Structure 1
């Protein structure tokens, strides 16, 4: 069986969790003896990186006496920028082949910029994952670029969420027919292979091949069930996982990960409806057996030794060369200024040319390891930390009962995420929270869907319910309002809103959406316990909340500044509020509708506003239009007032306390 060159790509969007599907595919291909590379980032830079590495290998064959690895940054930069001055950083004058070497480097630059590389694709198999539909543009661009990287007789495979939800649209935009769903039957890629890719352990090493760092790390990722018994119209699970699979073994996969990559602190499970599984008791027991029972602690393993062990064994040189470098730098930063060992470490790094992640070599890393190992062991004193289990997709409040809540409480669950997507589910939701608190669970979280068929008032009520439950039960509930985006194009819209983030629900408007986003900007996207904090952000009641939705956006974004400004030059939320109320009380219905249409469009065009002669209306619109640009314009008086406000130490302290 010939070794294939396999490239796995995640488009360069921002996301919290690593691509589990690609991690399983990496395991699959490595099991078959293939060379696997993972990339997330600018694909143009990746192409230049590959050309630069090829150039270095050719230069090594001509002049092996020169340490070409140290010149990688300069060669890469020269190819990317075409700046001849960069060549001065590459010293090959001592070689008798100096003219040939310079020619090789210039040829590499021309190879990229002429597009010649497109005629010589490198990869036998390219796999591209996809995620949310609103990442459409960057995803389609990635797929179309990936088409240039696969050999004529190779294969480009596109899968994941977007590809499964909109396969026809993806095929039309790229010419590639996507794979729909999960790889849960043998022979999906190679007919002669009996491996079921979806059941394989994850290859954690690929995460060290890239610069991007996923916010959720140091965890086991996986499923103990697949699919969902519900068919919610706003959810993609019924398309992605149409068959409900009640049990997927967990323990053996975790054992495999520990043996190869080391132990992880937390357990992040992405089951879509775990309480619907008839195997729930068995799943909970397996979670406990894996070391995630209530109160279980985690002691950080020796990641330093594990990284160098895997580098020596050739598990994934591209990844572990970077991982080992990071371990060394992390150790140095920990010791710098605190121990004499920092100087020893720094001197060793200099001796073995451990200076830059792009130039460090495997040989030098393995040579420095025996020098640094005793230093690491001397200072490595891990302390026990609490482990956590997170059913990340949430649990179904309608399925809670005393028995399954007792089981949930027996594991190290934190937070317990309970879905609260609709105000109609309030009785089931409150019952689920109360049952959980009775069993000792104190930390909760949920995503609150809005901009679907709900009203703004319903969002406020759901948020208020959580704040009140926190006060009543002495618990912590973090709410994350999540804006609904269609997952399919809809025939009644001229624009395909599934491919962007511009969709406005039937009971919402652009101004209200922006107001919610502005509020969440100040709360860092979440709403926690604390009545005073909630009322400051969202209003004391529905009347204040609805008024807040109408308030100028910058009054919300810079709320403390404009409150201060109310007392300085009569230009703040209280003055806006008086003007707003007077308009609503005195103007006729037709005029009010015209005003509200402009405000709700969130487009304060001068031409639209100019047609109003009423001084009261002009004053009202002045709050929306006059300061929107002024607050960031250094020449404006408002900007200068903001600088004065920010520099006042007493004000800064009050602002910090209120955050």
Structure 2
């Protein structure tokens, strides 16, 4: 007998889809089970399920009426209990009016009295977890959804947080988590399937409204684990055994047949270069269609969605997908006559609202849209593909042969970790090896706030900018603040390393806010963001946050003789002795509101109030000046600023 399986990702932000849940979906569908994937608010999930049950019941009573067309009124009545939505159903036009009303009211009570908890429908619920700082969101999700499993059913919590902090999860939820991977036969049922080796079910991603940032890609890994034991990394606990090679070619082909061609290949390997079968990995990537120079032409996704609906492949997901594609196409039409024709087809088949959209309505509208949509698809042009080892590769393992192998695939960018200054020479050598093989696009992760000195961040960023100039390449650096995996602050983002302080952390984040999180090529840009010298770098770290965010504006204030100009702040700071500066740093990082009487602190205090609020708030003291500054042309700003630099 088919079981009901619910896959849940907590409602946190995430770039990548939940790979483990996608494998579990494949597993249970191969066993003939019914699978539902959800990411979102618990209350919305319950309302949606109960509204669907109500529609089914009303359809049984009056089968000649399509009750899905009024599902939104049912949903709103159950949610709000407002009489206007019940009246909008026009139940008085049916002979069975009283019976219909009784059932609609029953499902309203079913929701508000939480009667659904007495009759759970799920045989198994799987909940994935991610970062430790999502602890509160994750625990709430588990405690909400655990109530929906049948008395003898299974609820399994797994993933990163569950593996790293199983005791904390169990204490907060009463659920003993699964630690690690599902990488052995028989871990869920008496069969020989290894869940971790199964292909991903991409179709479940169409069931939810949430759109992952890294989309239109094949996801996977060709290795597991890592040979390193870096103290800041979770991989040794998540994937303790290193696996040399797991072919991805067949998994890609299966996705291609069901979901259509994806543009890119996003690999989650934690240390692919440690594999003794590295050459086999490169060949597997090339055989999968991702050799250097490979291109991709977007397939007819509407045709694929219709095919999957015809075959009954995840109706819940592909009804949503097909409707979205049809509406997006309608919105893109510029010809008024054609626009009206397509709109009429969508409206007549009730596709303008998701609640009223049906499978048959999709088919009917598709017949009208198909010839025009197909014509548009034929105009699509090929685009470059890319391979992305998203977790980064290990600079310490580079050889000229490996650099040559990377150049054989559509790598863009090549991410190389630059975690500390101790690997500087190795890192620079790796970049140069790759550049000699024709690779020009790089990205790296710059860990800070761990055991490093604040100056190390500046030095590593500067090395990358200088390499760009020297080798005529592009390196995009992404500083990543260290976050502890255990103990205090593992559930929040407030950890401050022993050699850092809160002001320096805030300042780095303010600079990155301006640079959109990364530092690219261009010495002048880097100097402006982080300083020309190490002294200027520390001055910027000490600078008020608002002054970092609105640097030009605070420079312009000098032309107004304003007491809060950047140059006045610099004059005060530069007159401080090292002892006074250290004292001031301690003062602004202190939680003590006491006011020392030192003159220099009194002079600097006005710069460290909430100046951003004074700028963006219409009643703020700097608001009108900021409006005046913004109204100037670029040339006017440059002319004025040049006088004071």
Give matches, 1:211-360, under 5 Å: 211-335=209-333, 337-338=334-335, 340-360=337-357
Query: 1:236-635, aligned counterparts within 5 Å?
Result: 236-335=234-333, 337-338=334-335, 340-380=337-377, 381-489=379-487, 496-568=488-560, 569-584=562-577, 589=579, 593-601=582-590, 607-609=593-595, 611-612=596-597, 614-625=598-609, 627-635=611-619
Q: Contact 1:646/1:652 (CA < 8 Å) preserved in 2?
A: no
Tell me, what secondary structure is at the counterpart of 1:257?
A: helix
> Which residue is equivalent to 2:643?
none
**460-469 or 86-95, which moves further after superposition?**
86-95
Tell me the CA shift for residue 441 of structure 1.
Answer: 0.3
Secondary structure, aligned partner of 2:289: helix
Deviation at 1:652, TM superposition (A): 9.8
> Is the 1:312–1:366 contact (alpha carbons within 8 Å) kept by the matching residues of 2?
no
For the residue of structure 2 that corresponds to 1:533, the secondary structure is: helix
Superposed displacement of residue 220, structure 1: 0.5
Q: Does 2:644 align with 1:645?
A: no
Distance in 2 (CA, whole Å) between partners of 1:389 and 1:567 is 50
Partner SS state of residue 518, structure 2 = coil
Write the distance in 2 (CA, Å) between the matches of 1:334 and 1:633.
Answer: 38
Q: Contact 1:157/1:179 (CA < 8 Å) preserved in 2?
A: yes
- Mean CA deviation greater in 627-636 or 570-579: 627-636
- The number of residues matched between the two structures is 638
Superposed displacement of residue 254, structure 1: 0.9
Tell me the alpha carbon deviations over residues 68-99 of structure 1, each in whole angstroms, 9 at most, x when there is no partner: 21222222222223333333332222112223
State the Cα distance separating 1:338 from its structure 2 match.
Answer: 3.7
TM superposition shift of 1:653: 8.7
Matches of 1:580 and 1:330 in 2, distance apart? 55
Superimposed CA distance per residue, residues 204-242 of structure 1 (whole angstroms, 9 cap, x where no aligned partner) = 111111111001011100011111111111101110110
Q: Which has the larger displacement, 342-351 or 300-309? A: 342-351
Once the 2 structures are TM-superposed, how far is the Cα of residue 48 of structure 1 from its aligned partner? 1.2
Work out the CA distance in 2 between the residues paired with 1:649 and 1:59. Answer: 64
1:46 is aligned to 2:45: yes
Equivalent residue, structure 1, for 2:133: 134
Query: How far apart are residue 512 of structure 1 and its match?
Result: 0.8
> What is aligned with 1:32?
31
Q: Residue by residue, what CA displacement relative to the aligned partner does 1:143-200 show, whole Å, maximum 9, x if unpaired?
A: 111111111111100100110111111111111111111111111111x222111111
CA shift in 2, pair 1:556/1:473, >3 Å: same
- Greater CA drift, 65-74 or 268-277: 65-74
| Runs of at least 5 residues in structure 2 that lack an aligned partner in the other structure | 640-645
1:172 partnered with 2:171? yes
Aligned to 1:232, what secondary structure does the other structure show?
Answer: coil
CA distance in 2, matches of 1:252, 1:64: 45
> Once the 2 structures are TM-superposed, how far is the Cα of residue 592 of structure 1 from its aligned partner?
5.3
How far apart in 2 are the matches of 1:75 and 1:598?
A: 59
Residues of 1 paired with 2:490 and 2:610: CA distance? 34
Tell me: CA distance 1:170–1:580, structure 2 relative to 1, closer, same or farther (3 Å): same
> Aligned partners of 1:211, 1:27: CA distance in 2, in Å?
21
Instruction: Show the 5 A alignment for 1:182-193.
Output: 182-190=181-189, 192-193=190-191
Cα distance in 2 between the residues matched to 1:22 and 1:298: 27
- Displacement of 1:298 after TM fit? 0.7
Whether the aligned pair in 2 keeps the contact of 1:631 and 1:638 (CA below 8 Å) is yes
CA distance in structure 2 between the partners assigned to 1:576 and 1:653 by the alignment: 20
Q: Higher mean Cα deviation, 153-162 or 558-567?
A: 558-567
Q: Is the 8 A contact 2:469 2:521 kept in 1?
A: yes
Rounded to whole Å, the distance in 1 between the matches of 2:53 and 2:193 is 33
Cα distance, 1:499 vs. partner?
0.8
Paired residue secondary structure (2:553)? helix
Q: Is the 8 A contact 2:573 2:581 kept in 1?
A: no
1:651–1:484 CA distance, 2 compared to 1 (3 A): farther
Q: C-alpha distance in 2, partners of 1:88/1:654?
A: 64
TM-score, normalising length: structure 2 = 0.96
Q: In 2 relative to 1, CA 233–547 (structure 1 residues): closer, same or farther, beyond 3 Å? A: same
Q: CA deviation at 1:339?
A: 6.6
Q: How far apart in 1 are the matches of 2:310 and 2:404?
A: 46
Q: For residues 594 and 654 of structure 1, do their structure 2 counterparts lie closer, same or farther at Cα, with a shift above 3 Å needed?
A: closer
**SS in structure 2 at match of 1:395:** coil
Let me know the Cα RMSD of the aligned residues. Answer: 1.8
Distance of 2:634 and 2:106 partners within structure 1: 62
Unmatched segments (≥5 aa) in structure 1: 490-495
- 1: CA distance, partners of 2:78 / 2:481: 43
SS class of match (1:358): helix
Deviation at 1:628, TM superposition (A): 4.8
Contact 1:296 1:412 in 2 (8 A): yes
Q: What TM-score comes out, normalization by structure 1 length? A: 0.94
Look up the match of 1:493. Answer: none
Shift of 1:632: 3.3
Whether the 8 Å contact between 2:507 and 2:545 is mirrored in structure 1 is yes
Measured in 2, the distance between the counterparts of 1:101 and 1:581 equals 79
Between the aligned partners of 1:10 and 1:526, the Cα distance in structure 2 is: 28
Partners of 1:271 and 1:433 in 2: how far apart?
A: 20
